[in-house]
Structure formats: structure tokens, C-alpha cells
Chains A and B, each alone.
Chain A
Amino acid sequence: MHEFPITEQIIKIASEKAKENNARSITRITLVVGEQSGFIGESIQMYFDIISKDTLCEGAVLEMENIKAKWYCPDCNIHYARQPFSFACPDCGNDGMPTNIGKEFYVKDIEIETE
């Protein structure tokens, strides 16, 4: 839902990093997007194509690495993917607890062209 301001931030972060490294242009931006981050890749791409015009990011390929959400069972000491609409650990059946795995949302790296 907030993909527009988020995409502005991505372009800002990538551009600042590129400038620090004397880039002529940015050819690729890699994002890590957890499946529970709430952000929709297609929407980010759509805004990116528009907002990146006349910036160092124009023409860059946006790559997105998706991370599946994992819960944690303290009784079994395992991480697990939830079955739809269930909180249960697949081994012991007790409700586990949420983790931050799958909530990531960061710019991982950029590929630039220098002179």
C-alpha cells in the first residue's frame, strides 16, 4: 500500500550509495523482500519505472529476493513455515511464536557503472 514513498526511499538509498562510489549509472538494485513485509513487488516496479526517470537509477534492473516467513517453536527448537491459518508446530502441534524471518525489507546491493 505504501509502495510509492517506499520506492522513493529505495531510489534515494541506491543513488546516495552510487554517488559515494562515483557511479555514472546504476545498472541493478537488489532488494530483499520478505513475504510478510507487506510490500508488493509489482507495485514497487511500477513506481520505480516512473520515479527513477532522470535519476542515477533510471534504467536499472530491480531484482527482488523473496524470503519465506518462518515461525519458531521453543519446545522443539525449530523454525517452520506455517500451514495456512494455523500457528501449529509441525512436530509437536503446539502454537509456536512469530519471528522476524519473512519481514525483511532492505536494499541489499547495487551494481554500478563507473567511468
Chain B
Amino acid sequence: MAEKEIQVVQNIFDENDRIAFATQEKLGKMGVFVVNIMGAPGAGKTSSIINLIQQLSENKVYVIEGDIESDIDTVKLKELGIEAIQINTNGACHLDAPTIQSSLDGLSFDKPGLLFIENIGNLVCPAEFQIGEHIKMLICSAAEGSDKPYKYPLAFEKADVILLTKCDLKTYVDFNDEFFFKGVRALNKTAPVFEVNAKTGQGFEDVAGWLLQRKS
């Protein structure tokens, strides 16, 4: 009987990442640009999706809605004529690559365009998982306070673009712009921050423009 040491050096997320990459490639080849939308519960993910779709009227948009339970957001989107499907994790706190891969058959992908995947409302775990996206969009509302970058660094670090929503509420919540932006910039030197208001639509034209530029 002999003992032997074997080098492995294998990332524990390998399998998830392999599937994520396959999804990203497959959809990319079909001309579908995938956006993973993360943010705390109630930050304004669905409202931002609805506003962006209004701005992206020349483009086909598909939506995958992720929630622990309920189809409230999917019903709302479908009523607006948007092709959307619901994933209920019944407990899991984030979407992962295998879950997204097995849901793709539920969408037609008959035209090139954009796929918005609304992740589970959670400022912690979604940042850790690749699910097949081309970019990660972080939705952060002014109502959550200006200290979020300091408390949830990974979400801000991993974001390719950040939407600061409910910016009309800043004065009511004593939002400190300098403190917020200092935290964001320390963690992320490149992601643009768009200040938006989903009730009036302010700011979403710029976000849509940025998305289309990234897509091309």
C-alpha cells in the first residue's frame, strides 16, 4: 500500500462557472446580451427593468424573474406585453448557473436582444455567482442609506454598472453623496453610477444608452 500526493488545483465553483460560461456563449452567439440584475429586496429591480424596457423599445427584451416564492413580478411584466418567465427557488437565496440553464427553454429567443435576469432580492450571495451574464447590474436605492458599499463590498466590487434608485428620496433619508461615492470608488474604479427615479423615468435613457453601447 502506497501513499501519494496528487495536485488538484481545482476551483470549487468550476462546475457552476463552466455552465455559466456555456450559457453566456450560447446566448451571445444568438445576439442576446445578458444582464444579471442584483439588489436588496425592494431596491427597485423590477421597476428599473420596466423603465429600461420602455427606453429600449427598438429591442426585443426577455426577462427571467427569480424569487424565493410568488410570481407577482412576472405577472406585472406579462401584463405589459413582455416575454417573461418566473423561477421560484423555494428557499435558495441566489440564482446559480444550473438553475438559469435549465430555465432557458421557457423563452423563445426568436430575435436578438437583451435578457434581464432579476436575481433574488439579496445584497450578499448573488454577487458570488456567475449565472451566464455578460454584465452585472447592481440596483441600490437611496432609501437603503449611503453606507451600503461599506457593509456589502462584494456586490459593489463585482458590479459592471450601478443604478442609484429612488434618488428623489435622498433628502428624506439624509443620504450622504460624498460618503456613498467614496465607498463605491474605493471598491470599483470603473462602474458608472446612474442616479435614477423609476416613478418619473429620470435617468433611464442614459442607462439604456450605456447598455446598448456595451452590447455592441
Contacts and interface: CB of A to CB of B under 8 A. Distances in A.
Nearest to B190: A97
B187 A98 contact: yes
Please classify how large the interface on chain A is, using the bins under 10, 10 to 19, 20 to 34, 35 or more.
20 to 34
Interface residues of B, number: 28
Contacts of A87: 186-187
Contacts of A85: 150
B10 A106 contact: yes
B12 A113 contact: no
Interface string B114-127: 00000000001100
Contacts of B124: 1
B3 interface: yes
Interface string B1-31: 1111111111111110000000000000000
Counting chain A CB atoms within 10 Å of each CB, which of B2, B93, B186, B189 scores highest? B186
Given A17-B8, A107-B8, A38 B3 contact: no
Contact of A106 (B11, B128, B150, B157): B11
A57 interface: no
B145 to A, nearest CB: 16
B182 interface: yes
For the residues of B in contact with A, the DSSP-based class is mixed
Contact of B8 (A2, A13, A38, A113): A13
Nearest to A7: B12
A97 B12 contact: no
A2 B124 CA distance: 12
B110 to A, nearest CB: 34
Interface in B66-89: none
Contacts of B148: none
A14 B8 CA distance: 8
Interface of B: 1-15, 93, 124-125, 128, 150, 153-154, 157, 182, 185-187, 189
Interface of A: 1-2, 6, 9-10, 13-14, 17-18, 21, 24, 27, 38, 85, 87, 95-98, 105-115
Given A17-B8, A97-B189, 11 more contacts: A14-B8, A17-B6, A21-B6, A87-B186, A95-B185, A97-B187, A98-B153, A109-B9, A111-B3, A112-B4, A113-B2
